[in-house]
């Protein structure tokens, strides 16, 4: 693990991003705590109707937005932590300092990716169940962890690949995520203005939002984990991680 | 050690004219030598180093290091490299960065700490070891750059503008560092605009212009017969031949030894005072030079400057040809 120390130095220099992510998590938990303290019914649930009566439309909307954002916390965490995971080194010259040393750059970046992805996973694995426990008095169990892992692999792999080629990696990944969410919504409503084959191809290339939706439903409705959807997400992320590795190995620095 | 055969590198970008950064360069750098690459800005020095270190692939010709591809060499043997504008990511602290890079050199955790401490001590950076790199001055950052290049004893050492930002004291220290590398039999590639430094440090120098190799200058030719200096006096003196037997006047003055002249009306070369005289003299060592200069002063000579200058490298880089 020769690259671990370099990854550690990299993480310690990311304190601003870590603080920003931590701040967002604190907002989630404070909102959940406030809602739980003031609005819980006799069964321990927070009802949106009660919130509407207390704070009107803005309060209800804010909690709905927070809930939606929380469901996408793994995406946010991955975007914040993995932005520039490879491209920053090309920009500041570190990639060349690594390239002259007798070490595989793939090992260096794989270690860094693993460390950052683990941090993203752990942060989400703490905050999401805590939010559920505060609001609902229960949590979705392993489905939460499976959902987080799927998001981290899908978007982590995508950002790593994009980062091997461009500095706009996280922005592009965010754009693709939004496109995939919109595309999947249209697809479910069967309103895509494309030939079915072409629509399937675009859906195949975009991040696997239908599979992630399945995992989100299992998480939200306490249903059994759809393992086929999880395996698809692993495959999608894995392909992009391999492409990222190939790009790092073959590209000029 | 390093062989370039007709190596060229062209950069292309959409909407921009292609740039031939390096064209048809053929040269050999023997193992254990100090080889300089000189030339004006944009001559292709950094591109040449990027090819030798495997950062870039040649678009024409070939490059090999130790009989293998440059990238393979770096992956298996490693290379010491000081980039032209050394930097580290903001927020990285000097000691941590050096220790982390030492780990990439293949050293264990304890050895990496020891190696980092050793180079911090060698480059006198101990007082700055726990500072973030963005708080360092240009000169200190350059010393950190030199420190990271010396973390492990690599056979190939590439220094791109190593004196940049260094104060005069550290320029002298850098000479000592390069002399040590030479003594250890390392192959040193060096680029610098400081031609005096190049003449002091290198065995040979490749002069690049517009991406082409113009010539290779032997800087140590005749080193056995002594070290050559360029001596400028306020005015010519008759006793110069007594103090420095074999001294040649190279400014086109009355006792011209056949050297280059700028053709100026006052007979002076660039940077020379009007009415002055410039000689190329040969001495055994620094003590010999001091003794002979003392003789010049005793005989009434007024010394304006003394510089290493046997090869006329400056004139060649300026495009004036050999002196």
Q: Residue A118: which of A159, A72, A149 has the closest Cα?
A: A149
The DSSP element (H or E) to which B4 belongs, if any, is: strand B2-13
pLDDT interval class at B273 (50, 70, 90): low
- What's the confidence (pLDDT) of residue B311? 64
| C-alpha dihedral, B200 to B206 to B209 to B210, nearest 10° | -130
Nearest to B92 among A9, A96, A100 (CB): A9
Most confident among B149-153, B260-264, B284-288 (mean pLDDT): B149-153
Regarding predicted confidence, which is higher, B59 or B220? B59
Q: pLDDT at residue B257 above 60?
A: no
- What's the confidence (pLDDT) of residue B221? 56
Calpha distance B38→A133 (Å, rounded):
68
Can you state the angle between helices A73-82 and A105-136, rounded to 10 degrees? 150
**Is B11 near chain A, with CB under 8 Å?**
no
The minimum CA-CA distance between A235 and chain B, rounded to whole Å, is 30
Rounded to 5°, angle at Cα A235 from A234 and A237: 65
Structure tokens at A70: 């929380």
Which of A25-29, A188-192, A246-250, B165-169 comes out lowest in average pLDDT?
Answer: A188-192
**Is A108 near chain B, with CB under 8 Å?**
yes
- What's the confidence (pLDDT) of residue B256? 42
Calpha distance A71→A220 (Å, rounded):
9
Q: Could you read off the pLDDT of A95-145 as tens digits, one per residue?
A: 999 999 999 999 999 999 999 999 999 999 999 999 888 887 888 889 999
Q: Could you read off the pLDDT of B2-30 as tens digits, one per residue?
A: 999 999 999 998 888 999 999 999 999 99
**Which residue bears the tokens 């495959």?**
A235
Mean model confidence pLDDT for chain A: 91
Q: Could you read off the pLDDT of B293-311 as tens digits, one per residue?
A: 999 998 888 999 988 765 6
Cα dihedral sign for B160, B161, B166, B168? Answer: positive
Contacts of A90 in chain B (CB under 8 A): none
Say what the pTM is.
Answer: 0.83
- What's the confidence (pLDDT) of residue A41? 74
Question: In this complex, do A102 and B77 lie within 8 Å of one another by their Cβ atoms?
Answer: yes
Question: Hey, is A42 helix, strand or coil?
Answer: coil
Question: In this complex, do A101 and B91 lie within 8 Å of one another by their Cβ atoms?
Answer: no
The minimum CA-CA distance between B221 and chain A, rounded to whole Å, is 32
Radius of gyration (C-alpha) of chain A in whole angstroms: 20
Q: Could you read off the pLDDT of B120-143 as tens digits, one per residue?
A: 999 999 999 999 999 999 999 999
**Is B53 near chain A, with CB under 8 Å?**
yes
Mean model confidence pLDDT for chain B: 87
Q: What percent of chain A has pLDDT over 70?
A: 100
Calpha distance A208→A215 (Å, rounded):
11
Q: Residue A114: which of A160, A166, A171, A163 has the closest Cα?
A: A160
Q: Could you read off the pLDDT of A21-72 as tens digits, one per residue?
A: 999 999 989 988 887 787 777 776 777 777 788 778 888 888 788 878 888 8
């Amino acid at each position: 693990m020769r690259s671990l120390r370099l990854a550690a130095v990299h993480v310690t220099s990311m304190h601003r991003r870590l603080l920003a992510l931590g701040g967002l998590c604190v907002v989630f938990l404070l909102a959940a705590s406030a809602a739980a303290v003031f609005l819980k019914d006799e069964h321990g649930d927070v009802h949106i109707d009660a919130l509407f009566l207390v704070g009107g439309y803005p309060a209800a909307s804010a909690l709905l937005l927070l809930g939606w954002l929380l469901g996408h916390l793994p995406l946010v965490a991955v975007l914040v932590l993995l932005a520039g995971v490879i491209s920053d080194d090309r920009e500041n010259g570190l990639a060349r300092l690594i390239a002259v040393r007798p070490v595989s750059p793939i090992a260096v970046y794989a270690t860094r990716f693993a460390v950052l992805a683990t941090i993203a996973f752990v942060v989400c694995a703490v905050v999401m169940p805590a939010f559920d426990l505060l609001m609902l008095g229960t949590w979705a169990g392993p489905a939460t962890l499976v959902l987080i892992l799927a998001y981290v692999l899908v978007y982590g792999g995508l950002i790593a690949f994009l980062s091997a080629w461009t500095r706009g990696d996280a922005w592009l990944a965010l754009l693709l995520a939004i496109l995939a969410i919109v595309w999947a919504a249209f697809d479910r409503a069967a309103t895509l203005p494309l030939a079915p084959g072409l629509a399937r191809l675009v859906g195949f290339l975009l991040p696997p939002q239908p599979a992630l939706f399945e995992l989100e439903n299992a998480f939200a409705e306490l249903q059994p984990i759809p393992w086929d959807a999880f395996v698809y997400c692993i495959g999608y992320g894995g392909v992009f991680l391999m492409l990222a590795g190939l790009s790092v190995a073959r590209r000029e620095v | 050690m390093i062989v370039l055969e007709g190596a060229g590198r062209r950069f292309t970008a959409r909407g921009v004219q292609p740039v031939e950064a390096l064209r048809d360069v053929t040269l050999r750098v023997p193992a254990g030598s100090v080889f300089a690459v000189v030339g004006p800005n944009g001559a292709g020095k950094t591109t040449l180093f990027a090819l030798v270190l495997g950062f870039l692939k040649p678009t024409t010709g070939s490059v090999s290091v130790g009989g293998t591809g440059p990238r393979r060499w770096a992956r298996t043997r490693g290379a010491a490299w000081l980039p032209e504008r050394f930097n580290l990511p903001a927020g990285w602290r000097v000691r941590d960065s050096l220790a982390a890079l030492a780990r990439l050199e293949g050293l264990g955790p304890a050895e990496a700490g020891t190696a980092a401490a050793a180079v911090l001590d060698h480059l006198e950076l101990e007082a700055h070891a726990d500072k973030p790199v963005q708080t360092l001055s240009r000169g200190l950052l350059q010393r950190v750059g030199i420190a990271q290049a010396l973390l492990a004893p690599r056979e190939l050492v590439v220094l791109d503008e190593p004196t940049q930002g260094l104060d005069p004291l550290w320029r002298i220290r850098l000479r000592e560092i390069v002399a040590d590398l030479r003594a250890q039999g390392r192959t040193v590639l060096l680029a610098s605009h400081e031609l005096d430094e190049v003449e002091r440090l290198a065995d040979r120098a490749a002069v690049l212009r517009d991406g082409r190799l113009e010539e290779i200058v032997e800087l140590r030719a005749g080193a056995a017969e002594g070290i050559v200096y360029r001596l400028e006096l306020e005015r010519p003196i008759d006793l110069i031949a007594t103090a420095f037997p074999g001294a040649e006047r190279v400014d086109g003055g009355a006792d011209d030894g056949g050297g280059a002249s700028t053709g100026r009306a006052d007979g002076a070369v660039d940077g020379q005072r009007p009415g002055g005289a410039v000689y190329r003299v040969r001495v055994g060592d620094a003590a010999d030079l001091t003794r002979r200069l003392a003789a010049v002063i005793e005989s009434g000579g007024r010394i304006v400057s003394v510089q290493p200058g046997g090869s006329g490298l400056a004139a060649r880089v300026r495009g004036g040809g050999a002196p």
